[in-house]
Structures are given as structure tokens and as C-alpha cells.
Amino acid sequence: VKLNVPASEIPEDYRNLGGIQNNPCIASAIVPELDTIFVSTEQGLMAARFDAFTNLQDAQSWSFFVKDSVLQGIDYLEYLDEFLYLGRNLNGQGSLYKYDSTFILMATFPGQKIKEMNIQNEQLALVVGSKIELWKNDQKVQTIQDQAFPSPQTFCLDPSGAQWIGSFERGLISNREGSYRNYSPEGRFSN
């Protein structure tokens, strides 16, 4: 679905990608450098030109990026430093891949699923199991793990560099005042 936020409109949506019937389930989509749109589906990774001359509502505009079994079941897509990164959860194990003319397995997380993958301060952030990992230049540069958030679900850094973690057990947690603490809005704790 393409959103026009200022106008509160949905001008387009894209279905039957590449002529695949039954509207494949889409797990993630990105537009790196604004020239190609990548979409992960149950059948694999699809791509289309992203410009004013391409009709993305036309199924013929879409094709499979690369036919490779690693592309099935991709849950997360990100683009960093001119490379495409893919996160996949299969059989209870998370895996991180990088595309550099072929798919390179960078890390596996036995018994742990990737819960989120995003870009934070020019680093790839992975929320995996009970920790958050930050990657830069294909190396893990930091692991963030604390008893304050035993099962993180989401992660971001604010402009000052403070960490914000969402967890089911404790809600919103941050280290913006030095140590990790919970932040709750005024009002009732639950419905």
C-alpha cells in the first residue's frame, strides 16, 4: 500500500506481483536509493523499478530478483552501505544474510528468532532473543542486553544516542537518564 500521509490518501496498492495469483503475503518492503523497490513474499524476493515511468500496479512490472531458496521466508529487508541485508526465521532459527552479487550467510541464531531488523545511526540493528545486536561493516560492534528488558521486541536510538527498547514485560525502557528505566504514559496501566 502506498500512502500519501499529508493528504490522508491511499493512491495505490500493488497486488498479483509478477502475475502470482492469490496475492502473496508480503513480510517486508524497502526502496533503497529510490530506484528499485524490493518486496519479500512467501515465494521469494521480488523487485521492480521505482520511478515515475513504471506502473507498479501492473503485474508485469514485477519479477523475482534472484531465484534462490534462501529468499523464501524472508521476514526483514534493510539497505545499508549499498548492500541489501535480509533477516529470515526458519524452523525456530534466525539467520542474517547480505547480498553482494550472491547471498552470504553472515550469522545464525540457533533457537532464537529475529524479532526486528532496522537501521540505527548507520548501523544494522537486530533484536534477537534476549538481546539487541548492532552491526557495522559486516561486524557485530555491540551487544545490548540487560535484566531491565529480558525479552526486547523493538529497538531504536534517538538523536542524542539514547536507547529505546520496547518489551512485553516492562513496556518502554530507555537509558536516556543514565541507567535503564521504564517510561509509562499517565493513566491506567492496562485496559
DSSP codes of every residue in 65-110:
S---GGGTTEEEEEEETTEEEEEEEETTEEEEEEESSSEEEEEEET
Entry pTM: 0.83
pLDDT by residue for the chain (191 residues), tens only, comes to 888 999 999 988 887 777 666 666 777 888 877 788 988 877 778 889 988 899 988 888 988 887 666 667 788 999 998 899 999 998 889 999 998 888 899 999 999 999 999 999 999 999 999 999 999 999 999 999 999 999 999 999 999 999 999 998 888 999 999 999 998 877 776 66
d(CA 1, CA 155): 24
Instruction: Provide the grid cell at 25.
Output: 503475503
